[in-house]
Amino acid sequence: MSVFYDEERKLFKLDTAGSSYIFEIYDEGYLVHLYYGAKIPDANVGEFRDKGWFASECPVNINIENTRFSPDVAPLEFSGEGSGDFRSSAIAVRNADGNNVTDMRYVSHRIYAGKPSFEDMPALYVNDESEAQTLEVRVRDSVTGVEALLSYTVFEKYSAMTRSVKVINASDKAVVIERVMSCCVDFDTHDYDMITLYGKWLKERSLERAPLSHVKQGIFSKRGSSSHHHNPFAAIVDRDAGEDFGSAYGFNFVYSGNFIFDAEVDPFGGTRAVMGINPDGFEWTLRPGESFQAPEVVTVYSDKGTGKMSRIFHRLYTDHLIRGKWAKIKRPLLINNWEATGMDFTGDKLVTFAERAKELGIDMLVMDDGWFGTRDDDTSALGDWFVNEEKLGGPLSDFVSRINALGIKFGIWFEPEMVSRDSDLYRAHPDWCIHVPGREKSIARHQYVLDFSREDVRDYIYSLMHGILSGSNIAYVKWDFNRYLSEVGSAALPPERQKETFHRYVLGLYDILNRLTTDFPDILLEGCASGGGRYDPGILYYAPQIWCSDDTDPIERLSIQFGTSMCYPASTMGAHVSASPRTGYETKGNIALWGTFGYELDPNKFTEEDKEIIREQVNEYHKYYDVIHSGDLYRLITPDRDDFRAAWMFVSRSKEAALVTSVVMRRPEQNTFYLKLKGLDPDKYYVEDESGEVYSGALLMNAGLCLNRFGNDDGDSFKLYFRAL
């Protein structure tokens, strides 16, 4: 049992292996948050609601005698709008009278085994009801009759919970949701730092850490996708927390569209953290009897810093988010032609790629952008998903057969959500893209975004994709998305529903991803959005891997991969060895091994010496696959802390094997280098594969290894593999 209801204290306690989360039903039905942190056995925390003497101007509820209770300062579980709490609200619903005062109080609750799934949105799942327990609390605004169901699912063994909110219009008049946060947590202090992942194209998910102060600090997207600019992840950590010590609370939104995460410090020193759909540009009309399901937030608590927090996310996502055939079996090692050829290729040329791939032990060739319509550069043809037979030298099925005949699997690129201004599709259906009538449409990469909120548009695009995927032996799809949404409106919605377009668009995307993964369960799907511009758990529910970044410079990739690893497992990180000149193949390989691994270059240009290295890398890919894909990650030296070196290691869950990698980013000031390992069993003895030296886990973690024997120049790197004796 991980969810308890204390009848006497009217209090809920949600326990995981390492955390407790407590809130109570207070007077007048207020849900008051009392505690979130390291696991505690008891729950005598009722007085935590009273924040001390607040000013006389703070609103109070006239029916409550406790002079220490004001919604203005009390830690509230699901605070409404305009009813005495001036902090970020969790919900604001505009009622038929035109105001948005919202005040939700407790009605009932139920506790049950397992976790419900959503009809039309991604969410973490259980394989068996015993793996999680769910608390559902019903709250109601007694004036408008609008209700909400607050769901908390406890994944006990992971120190993790998921939270979501369903708004139900139980009244007899239409209402408009202006804001609904999927998660709200009131911390009793602001003695924290906030860690977020900022970025842009070629610099996704870079780590940023800043102390909380008396301002509202937040990240967001209003680009229509989760975006390069901020990832829908944030951690609230103790000021002195590090990789291995201190409390860390991680929040990750299972959603691929507009979002916010805000941490607001109140005048009394507490912090309110909220996460949900960005209210900017959002509204949703609910007619009587209708409901709206807000997406889910994953929260993780770690008592041992950000390292443990990340490992909890990784295991949780490996076991309860990533689905389908490719969740647990070995992925093919691929070569993609994009960086080698751009759109300037022919079928014959790609066959030579496949021939070289075969010689080197690579499993699959991926044909990137440029195989359809009239597309020789990025100005045309998106939406015209008809094979360019002239380029491929015949029908796609024949071309794929040529590749398959070499013993190489075949994958293909699509950008289904887009239409080029210069395309037959746009000429035939100019109203099929996201737009606002009478207003000029901004263009990006010569393309517009198709209105995926519309079923007819989705059906058309999907029918073309379906035809291509079922007509040839296709093992993999790279699903790209190369511009943000602007001038957002849908020709299919009435004026009062235009602000639903953003969210309906994301639901439309999920609909097609759902159809695709259901109809083609054997296809391996890789997400992509101008590199890693839509890297979120929503996409990972459908696509087990996502192209991390268009930046394949190995040294720049380090900070991207370290940032990505904050909450996303290595098995999801699309990482390839490219022709980037910054380092040799060995270092490029060592860095790409941290992800899905593959190649993004012209294999015809390899020298004999290169081929030797590549063959060896392919062997290493197989040798280390399990420890990387199913093991635990330990970040040893992070590039944001040390300008010179980066180091990380994977340890198998059984602690029987470990792979350590270090890269010199810039020649260090001193040569002497001791590396202390982490995560090993101190009592086990480990043999280092190459030297045959034997060390105890305790020695490796406490004394460390003196690594002066390894190169110290820019771009040098090494790997060490340990096996328990």
Please say whether the beta carbons of 573 and 526 come within 8 A: no
Binding status of residue 528 toward ligand GLA by CB under 6 A:
yes
Catalytic residue, from 72, 103, 363, 480: name it. 480
Strand partners, 458: none
The verdict on 530 binding ligand GLA (CB under 6 A) reads yes
As a whole number of Å, the CA-based R_g of the chain is 27
Q: Dig out the tokens for 623 from the structure.
A: 């040798």
Identity of the residue, 482 or 717, whose beta carbon is nearer to ligand GLA in the bound complex: 482
CA dist., res. 609 & res. 210, Å (int) = 47
- Residue in 604, 599, 591, 580 with CA at minimum distance from that of residue 664: 591
CB atoms within 10 A of CB 293: 20
CB nearer to ligand GLA: pick between 302 and 530: 530
Q: Can residue 15 be called a binding residue for ligand GLA (CB under 6 A)? A: no
Least distance between ligand GLA and beta carbon 603 (Å): 17
**Cβ(639)–Cβ(559) below 8 Å:** yes
Residue 714 has phi, psi (to 5 degrees) of -45, 130
- Looking at residues 364 to 393 of the shown chain, list those that interact with ligand GLA (rule: CB under 6 A): 368-369
The total number of residues written for the chain in this structure? 725
Instruction: Please tell me what DSSP assigns to residue 239.
Output: T
413 lines the binding site for ligand GLA (CB under 6 A): yes
Residues numbered 286 to 345 that lie near ligand GLA (CB under 6 A) are 338
The residue among 200 and 653 lying less far from ligand GLA, judged by its C-beta, is 200
Listed ranges 394-402, 428-436, 523-531, 589-597: which one lies at the site for ligand GLA (CB under 6 A): 523-531
| Nearest to ligand GLA of 153, 420 (CB atom) | 420
Query: Interface with ligand GLA includes 416 (CB under 6 A)?
Result: no
As given in the structure block, the two tokens for residue 715 are: 């771009």
Stretch that binds ligand GLA, among 303-311, 386-394, 528-536, 672-680 (CB under 6 A): 528-536
Considering only residues 448 through 507, tell me which ones interact with ligand GLA, judged by CB under 6 A: 480, 482
In the DSSP assignment, the letter for residue 387 is B
- Applying CB under 6 A, the span of 90-98, 305-313, 524-532, 643-651 interacting with ligand GLA comes to 524-532
Per CB under 6 A, contacts with ligand GLA among 347-366 are: none
Torsion of CA 481, 482, 488, 489, to 10 degrees: -50
When the beta carbons of 5 and 201 are compared against ligand GLA, the nearer one is 201
Map tokens 């970020």 to a residue: 88
CA dihedral 442, 448, 449, 451 (to 10 degrees): 100
**The binder of ligand GLA chosen from 75, 224, 257, 531 (CB under 6 A):** 531
The residue among 206, 19, 253 whose CA lies nearest residue 640 is 206
Least Cβ distance, residue 93 to ligand GLA (angstroms): 39
CB 323, min distance to ligand GLA, A: 24
Q: Report the C-alpha gap between 489 and 434 in whole angstroms.
A: 6
Is 262 a residue of the active site?
A: no
Token pair of 150, please?
Answer: 């607050």
459 contacts: CB under 8 Å, gap ≥ 6:
none
Interface with ligand GLA by CB under 6 A: which range of 34-42, 207-215, 246-254, 525-533?
525-533
User: What are the Cα distances from residue 346, in Å, to 64, 390, 392, 569?
Assistant: 76, 8, 5, 36
Tokens of residue 503, six digits = 């969210």
Question: Total binding residues for ligand GLA by CB under 6 A?
Answer: 11
Relative to beta strand 105-113, strand 133-140 is antiparallel
Output 156 or 368, the one with its CB closest to ligand GLA: 368
Which position among 243, 536, 550, 632 is part of the footprint of ligand GLA (CB under 6 A)? 550
Residue type, 704: G
Q: Which of 550, 551, 632, 716 is catalytic?
A: 550
Segment lying near ligand GLA (by CB under 6 A), choices 101-109, 149-157, 396-404, 527-535: 527-535
Cβ-based nearer residue to ligand GLA, 195 or 539: 539
Beta carbon of residue 407, minimum distance to ligand GLA (angstroms, whole number): 25
Active site residue 610: no
Nearest residue by C-beta to ligand GLA? 369
Alpha helix (H) residue ranges in 297-384: 305-320, 338-341, 347-360
Which residues in this chain contact ligand GLA in the complex, by CB under 6 A? 338, 368-369, 413, 480, 482, 528, 530-531, 547, 550
Q: Which residues are catalytic?
A: 480, 550
